């Protein structure tokens, strides 16, 4: 399937960091700029912005099979995760103070892990569910942790570095039976897998527009009807008092614009999956000492994470960049850090293995020709780097 994005200056294989905006957004930008009013204004200038926001909310709600009022616009995934964890925990402390336990997985995005640590410093009993080297989350530990009163559980739908998918539906059911709230970070899921939030039966879920070909600066917090939480952004009455601050209309409308394309996600997932499988089988044929991370476990169809033995990931990345390929060693938010990925260390990888990692994340627009070009360059670069490092 073909899909048009704004082109960069090379071949882009880092869609888990951010996606290039859809070409169709050019006309959205021009249109929304005409309507610069404040969506909360009662006068003429606020009318169209209000309508544009309502349309975006309705389209997104239909896609996710939830009620429009269950969606709260935020500034992105980080804010939505902060709102969910802090908001649910503080509400639980008011409603049932005996529920002090907070449960997260070992491989959450820093916007969840670091927020959970803040809750711990505020008195929460923070517990971590381990994830194996193969990318499997330990459900027996989770079951055990639910035996003490839990305020909230936050487990991501799919991991940003390795692409591993966790059994959210099952975990949400277990959490609910134990009386705990359940939040899931779906930032890496939308645009890569079909998603029906109603069926998942979670209390809260996080999304971010710039991961599904929209603009940066807007995200979504799904908040199931009836769920109470304390907003962390206080001020005006926007979003029915659930998230104060004048809305980022342009980015919000860009998310709504993506809904039509997102309804074809099944076909995109299929083509990305075939391309990813081809890439992995070719890499293993052409380059020695490759370990694909947890390839037997359930993964996002676009993500390939691998350890390339004897090759420093940062050096590899810089060499590939010089050849025009955008890839990463792991999460974009921690790149440039000399420390190996906390996610990989938590999964039991050694430091030197974690420092030899490469993450490739494909998008709807990538082609076999691009992957073939990448394979040729990767093979040559790995040879060169190994020669220099030996
Ligand atoms: C799993 C996950 N959660 C949350 C975020 C944060 O989203 P945002 O960049 O919109 O703040 C990211 C971004 O990389 C992510 O991958």
- pLDDT tens for the 390 residues of the chain, in order: 689 999 888 999 999 999 999 999 999 999 999 999 999 999 999 999 999 999 999 999 999 999 999 999 999 999 999 999 999 999 999 999 999 999 999 999 999 999 999 999 999 999 999 999 999 999 999 999 999 999 999 999 999 999 999 999 999 999 999 999 999 999 999 999 999 898 899 999 999 999 999 999 999 999 999 999 999 999 999 999 999 999 999 999 999 999 999 999 999 999 999 999 999 999 999 999 999 999 999 999 999 999 999 999 999 999 999 999 999 997 665 556 668 999 999 999 999 999 999 999 999 999 999 999 999 999 999 999 999 877
Where does residue 230 fall: left (phi above 0), alpha (psi -120 to 50 degrees), or beta otherwise? beta
The catalytic position among 33, 333, 380, 383 is 333
Q: What are phi and psi of 225, to 5 degrees?
A: -55, 135
**Is the pTM higher than 0.95?**
yes
Rounded Cα distance, 275 and 362, in Å: 8
Dihedral-angle region of residue 217 (phi above 0 means left; psi in -120 to 50 means alpha; beta otherwise)? left
**Ligand 1 in contact with 184 (CB < 6 A)?**
no
| C-beta of residue 184 within 8 angstroms of C-beta of residue 200 | yes
Q: What is the rounded CA–CA span in Å between residue 203 and residue 197?
A: 10
Non-local CB neighbours of 355 within 8 Å, separated by 6+ positions: 312, 313, 314, 329, 340
DSSP 355: T
Do the beta carbons of residue 149 and residue 158 sit within 8 Å?
no
Of 14, 16, 17, 78, which is best to mutate to test ligand 1, by the most ligand atoms within 8 angstroms of its C-beta?
A: 78
Give yes or no for residue 188 CB within 6 A of ligand 1.
yes
Q: What angle do CA 60, 260, 243 make, to 5 degrees?
A: 20
**Rounded-to-integer distance, Cα 239 and Cα 244, Å:** 7
208 ligand 1 Cβ < 6 A:
yes
- Is the C-beta atom of 187 inside 6 A of ligand 1? yes
Does 333 qualify as catalytic in the annotation? yes
**Pocket mutation for ligand 1, best pick of 109, 156, 205, 217 (most atoms within 8 Å of C-beta):** 109
Q: 208 CA to middle of ligand 1, Å? A: 7
Nearest CA to ligand 1 atom 14: 17
Q: Could you tell me if the CB of 160 is within 6 A of ligand 1?
A: yes
- Whole-number Å distance, alpha carbon 215 to ligand 1 midpoint, is 13
What is the whole-number distance in angstroms between the Cα of residue 109 and the centre of ligand 1?
Answer: 7
């Amino acid at each position: 399937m073909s899909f048009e994005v704004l082109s960069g200056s090379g071949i882009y294989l880092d869609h888990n960091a951010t996606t290039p905006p859809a070409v169709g957004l050019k006309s959205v930008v021009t249109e929304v700029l005409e309507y610069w009013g404040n969506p909360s204004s009662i006068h003429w200038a606020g009318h169209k912005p209000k309508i544009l926001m309502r349309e975006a909310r309705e389209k997104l709600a239909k896609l996710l099979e939830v009620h429009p009022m269950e969606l709260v616009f935020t500034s992105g995934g980080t804010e939505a995760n902060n709102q969910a964890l802090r908001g649910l925990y503080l509400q639980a402390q008011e409603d049932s103070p005996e529920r002090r336990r907070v449960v997260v997985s070992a491989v959450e995005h820093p916007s969840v892990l670091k927020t959970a640590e803040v809750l711990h410093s505020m008195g929460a009993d923070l517990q971590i569910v381990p994830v194996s080297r193969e990318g499997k989350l330990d459900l027996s530990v989770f079951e055990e942790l639910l035996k003490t009163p839990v305020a909230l559980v936050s487990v991501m739908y799919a991991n940003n570095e390795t692409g591993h998918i966790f059994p959210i539906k099952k975990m949400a059911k277990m959490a609910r039976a134990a009386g705990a709230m359940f939040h899931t970070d779906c930032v890496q899921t939308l645009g890569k897998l079909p998603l029906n939030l109603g069926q998942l039966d979670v209390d809260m879920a996080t999304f971010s527009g710039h991961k599904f070909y929209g603009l940066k600066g807007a995200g979504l917090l799904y908040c199931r009807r009836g769920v109470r939480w304390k907003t962390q952004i206080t001020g005006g009455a926007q979003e029915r008092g659930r998230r104060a601050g004048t809305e980022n209309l342009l980015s919000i409308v860009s998310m709504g614009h993506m809904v039509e394309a997102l309804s074809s996600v099944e076909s995109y997932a299929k083509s990305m999956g075939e391309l990813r499988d081809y890439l992995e089988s070719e890499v293993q044929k052409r380059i020695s000492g490759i370990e694909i991370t947890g390839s037997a476990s359930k993964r996002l169809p676009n993500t390939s994470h691998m350890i390339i033995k004897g090759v420093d990931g940062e050096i590899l990345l810089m060499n590939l960049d010089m050849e025009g390929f955008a890839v990463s060693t792991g999460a974009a938010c921690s790149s440039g850090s000399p420390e190996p990925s906390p996610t990989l260390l938590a999964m039991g990888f050694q430091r030197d293995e974690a420092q030899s990692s490469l993450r490739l994340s494909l998008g709807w627009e990538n082609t076999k020709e691009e992957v073939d070009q990448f394979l040729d360059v990767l093979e040559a670069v790995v040879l060169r780097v190994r020669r220099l490092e030996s």
